[in-house]
Structure 1
Amino acid sequence: MTPTPVRTLGIIGAGNVGAQIARRAVEVGLDVVLANSRGPESLEELIAELAPSAGAATVTDAARAGDVVVVAIPISGYRDLPAEAFAGKTVIDTGNYYPEYSGPVDELEQPGAPTTSELLQRHLPDASVVKAFNNLSAADVTTDGSPAGSPGRRSLVVAGDDADAKAVVADLVDRFGFDVVDAGALDEGWRYERDQPAYGVPRDRADMTAALAAAERRTERAR
C-alpha cells in the first residue's frame, strides 16, 4: 500500500540538523512547524527565511501539528519530550550519541546498551520511531539529493519496528532526493551509527547495503 504523503513536518530542534531538514522540506513542498527548548520567539529568523511555509510553536504543539515529527535534539535531552504529544505519530530520530559534546546518558553507557532510537522509543511508547537522517552531515541534507533514477544517487538508511511508519519515512527520504536502504528493526540501528562504515560516507544503494553488512558491534562505545 502506498503511504499517505506527508504534508506537514513537526521538527523538534532547530540546530544544524533540524534547520537543514526544515529547509529541504520546504524546498520539496512541505509545511514545517518548528520548536526548540528556547521557545517560538527564538526562531523568528529561520521562520522568516522559510516563510510562508514555516511556523514556530512549542514542542507540544509542533509534535501535534506534524504528520511526521522529526526529533533533532541531543539524545541527552530525550526525557524533556512530552510523550503524550507524540502519541500515534511517526517519529524520525536523527540522533547520534556523542557524549563528549552533549554529555553522557547513563542508559547508553551500560553493557548491551540500546541504540539512541530504542531509547527514544521507550520514552515515546505510543509513537512509532524510525531512525533516519543520522548518517549524513547536516549540510548534505540540502545539497546531496538528486532525482530518483539518477546514476550514483546517494542512499540513506532507515530502521524501525513499524513497517507502515518505515514506509512513510522512506517515501519522505525519497522526496528529499535519496535512495533508501532498510536496515531492519530498530535494534539494527547501530549498523549506521558513528564509527561504522555506513556512517557519514556518501554511498549509493549497493555500497550502503554492503557497508551495513560490514558493521561490527563494539562492546564499548568509542570516544
Structure 2
Amino acid sequence: MPGTLGLIGSGMIGTSLARLAVAAGLEVILSNSRGPQTLAALVAGLGGRARAATPAQAARAADLVVAAIPLKSFARLPAEALAGRTVLDTANYYPERDGHLPELDAGELTSSALLQRHLARSHVVKAFNTITPHQLRTLARPSGAPDRSALPIAGDDAGAKAAATRLLDMLGFDAVDLGPLAESWRSEPDTPVYVRPYLGDVPAMNVADFLAWTSRTPGVAVPAARVRELAGTAVRRPAGAARLPSEG
C-alpha cells in the first residue's frame, strides 16, 4: 500500500489528487517546474502531510509518482530519478496545445506509450485522464458505496497496475483495466469514456466557460461496468483530430 505519493505537476488535476491523498492519510510531496517556493501556499493549505520538493526529489522519495503535466512537457520528467518507479500518467494529447506529434497523429503510439519510451526504466500506467479536476473530488466515494465511480487504467506491468488500482481505491474510485499501454487509446480524448460520462449533458462553450461550469457541477457517477462498456465501444480515430472536451 502506498504511503507517500509524489506529484510532478501541481495544476488542477495535481491539486485535486493531492487533496484526496491527504484526506486518505497519505504523505504527499508536491513539485512543479517553477520550484518548491511557489508551492508554499498550497502546501500550507494541505496541512502537515504535504511538503514541496523538486520533481527529482519527489520522484526519489515517493512510493508512487503521478505525472500531472501537459503532454508537451513530457521530456522534462526526470527519467533517471524515476527509474524503477511506477509513474501514473494523467496527460492527454491535444495537438492545438501540444503541437502535432506525427507518431500520435498516425496512431503508431499512444500518448502513454510515448511517455513510456522516455521513461524506459519506469513502469507507466495511464490513469486519471478521463475526469475533470472538480469531479475527481466530488465523485470520490468509499469502497463499496453504491454510487462509486470507476476510472480506466492501462499499463504494461501487472505490478504497476496493481499499485495504481490500490491508489485509486484509497482515493475513492474503482479501476477498470483496459490492458497494455497500446490499448490506452480507448480512454484518450474523443472516446466514449472520456470526460463526458462523468459530467452528464455538456453545453457547448469555450474552454474558460467549460472549466467554470465543471466547478459548479457535482458530476455523474459512472460505475465500473459502464466504464468497461464505454471503453469497449471505442473506435480509434486520428489523434490529431481530438478536441478539447469544451469544444462543442
TM-score, with length taken from structure 2: 0.85
Q: In structure 2, what is the Cα distance between the partners aligned to 1:168 and 1:107?
A: 32
Give 1:25's aligned residue.
Answer: 21
Matched, 1:113 2:132: no
Contact kept in structure 2, 1:107 and 1:114, CA below 8 Å:
no
Contact kept in structure 2, 1:33 and 1:57, CA below 8 Å:
yes
Q: Kindly tell me: are residues 120 and 152 of structure 1, through their superposed partners in 2, closer, same or farther at Cα, counting changes over 3 Å?
A: same
1:111 to partner: Cα distance: 1.5
How do 1:124-203 residues align onto structure 2 when only pairs under 5 Å count? 124-200=119-195, 201-202=197-198, 203=222
Q: In structure 1, what is the Cα distance between the partners aligned to 2:119 and 2:146?
A: 38
1:81 to partner: Cα distance: 1.3
**1:209 corresponds to which of 228, 235, 240:** 228
Q: In structure 2, what is the Cα distance between the partners aligned to 1:210 and 1:36?
A: 36
Q: SS of 2:81's equivalent?
A: helix
Q: In structure 1, what is the Cα distance between the partners aligned to 2:104 and 2:162?
A: 31
Aligned partner letter, 1:82: P
Give 2:71's aligned residue.
Answer: 75
Contact kept in structure 1, 2:105 and 2:240, CA below 8 Å:
no
Matched, 1:11 2:7: yes
Q: Kindly tell me: are residues 91 and 105 of structure 1, through their superposed partners in 2, closer, same or farther at Cα, counting changes over 3 Å?
A: farther
Contact kept in structure 1, 2:71 and 2:98, CA below 8 Å:
no
1:114 to partner: Cα distance: 1.4
Give 1:39's aligned residue.
Answer: 35
RMSD of equivalent CA atoms: 1.3
Aligned partner letter, 1:70: V
How many matched pairs?
A: 218
Q: In structure 1, what is the Cα distance between the partners aligned to 2:67 and 2:239?
A: 26
Aligned partner letter, 2:64: V
1:180 to partner: Cα distance: 1.2
Aligned partner letter, 1:21: L
Q: Kindly tell me: are residues 220 and 61 of structure 1, through their superposed partners in 2, closer, same or farther at Cα, counting changes over 3 Å?
A: closer
1:22-67 CA distances to partner (integer Å, 9 max, x unpaired)?
0110000001111101000000110100120111111110111110
* Structure 1 spans left out of the alignment, 5+ residues: none
Aligned partner letter, 2:168: V
Aligned partner letter, 1:205: A
1:84-109 CA distances to partner (integer Å, 9 max, x unpaired)?
00011000000111232x33142455
Q: In structure 2, what is the Cα distance between the partners aligned to 1:96 and 1:220?
A: 10
How do 1:55-70 residues align onto structure 2 when only pairs under 5 Å count? 55-70=51-66
1:110 to partner: Cα distance: 4.0
| Overall identity of the aligned pairs, in % | 48
Q: In structure 2, what is the Cα distance between the partners aligned to 1:15 and 1:185?
A: 27
1:150 to partner: Cα distance: 1.6
**2:94 corresponds to which of 78, 94, 98:** 98
Give 2:213's aligned residue.
Answer: none
Q: In structure 2, what is the Cα distance between the partners aligned to 1:171 and 1:12?
A: 20
Contact kept in structure 2, 1:117 and 1:186, CA below 8 Å:
yes
TM-score, with length taken from structure 1: 0.94
1:180-211 CA distances to partner (integer Å, 9 max, x unpaired)?
11100111111011111111123211111110
